[in-house]
């Protein structure tokens, strides 16, 4: 009786289907393999975006001096920071197939602005050990509190309009 030899077929790497990936997908795959470098890059980007946004908002002479206080610019800073970081993660850190939709971004902005505006106007935003970190808007100068309220309203309305348009388009597609 002859015994069969256990031979393993060698995989020919030339037979693989070569899929072309964009440089963003290749960068993302490389950062996933090197997760420590990816986390460091994310941390640096968080800090850099916050610092750049802070310099842009607080050192900008187009914004009047009374509005350059963090108490008044907090809604604008928060929304722009969320937008920039969301775009960074959606473009640079997520594979093309897994990217978030515009509907997801609009939903995030809708909820964040609704909850934060109520808390900021009525109660203020407090830290554990800092006391009043951002005081309630009604305790600030009444001449200037329109700016944060309008900022919350603009981002809320933009998010609501975006969701409304997306739902209308889905409904239209269903009917066709």
Q: Is residue 1 part of a domain?
A: no
In a domain, 10, yes or no: no
- 140-162 average pLDDT score: 92
Question: For residue 11, is it within any domain?
Answer: no
> In angstroms, rounded to a whole number, what is the distance separating the alpha carbons of residues 75 and 154?
10
136 HSE (CA, 13 A, CB side)? 7
Task: Please count the structural domains in the chain.
Answer: 1
pLDDT tens column, 106-135: 999 999 999 999 988 888 877 676 655 888
Residue 3 included in any domain = no
What is the model's pTM? Answer: 0.76
Task: Report yes or no on 2 lying in a domain.
Answer: no
The answer as to whether 155 is a domain residue is: yes
pLDDT in tens, 153-169: 999 999 999 999 999 99
Phi and psi at 50, nearest 5°, equal -65, -45
Q: Where are the alpha helices (DSSP H) in 34-145?
A: 35-58, 70-92, 102-122
Flag whether 127 is in a domain: yes
How many Cβ atoms are within 10 Å of 45's Cβ, its own excluded? Answer: 16
Residue 14 counted as domain residue:
no
Domain extent for 60: 22-175
């Amino acid at each position: 009786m002859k015994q069969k030899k256990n031979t393993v077929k060698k995989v020919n790497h030339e037979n693989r289907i070569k899929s072309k990936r964009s440089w963003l997908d290749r960068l993302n795959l490389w950062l996933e393999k090197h997760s420590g470098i990816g986390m460091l890059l994310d941390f640096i980007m968080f800090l850099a975006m916050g610092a750049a946004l802070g310099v842009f908002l607080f050192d900008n002479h187009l914004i009047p001096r009374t509005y350059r206080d963090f108490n008044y610019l907090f809604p604008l800073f928060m929304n722009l920071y969320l937008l920039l970081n969301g775009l960074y993660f959606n473009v640079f850190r997520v594979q093309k197939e897994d990217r978030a939709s515009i509907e997801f971004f609009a939903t995030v902005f809708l909820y964040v602005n609704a909850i934060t505006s109520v808390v900021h106007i009525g109660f203020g935003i407090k830290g554990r050990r800092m006391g009043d970190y951002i005081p309630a808007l009604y305790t600030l100068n009444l001449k200037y509190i329109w700016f944060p309220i309008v900022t919350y309203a603009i981002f809320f309305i933009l998010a609501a309009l975006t969701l409304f348009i997306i739902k209308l388009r889905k409904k239209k597609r269903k009917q066709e």
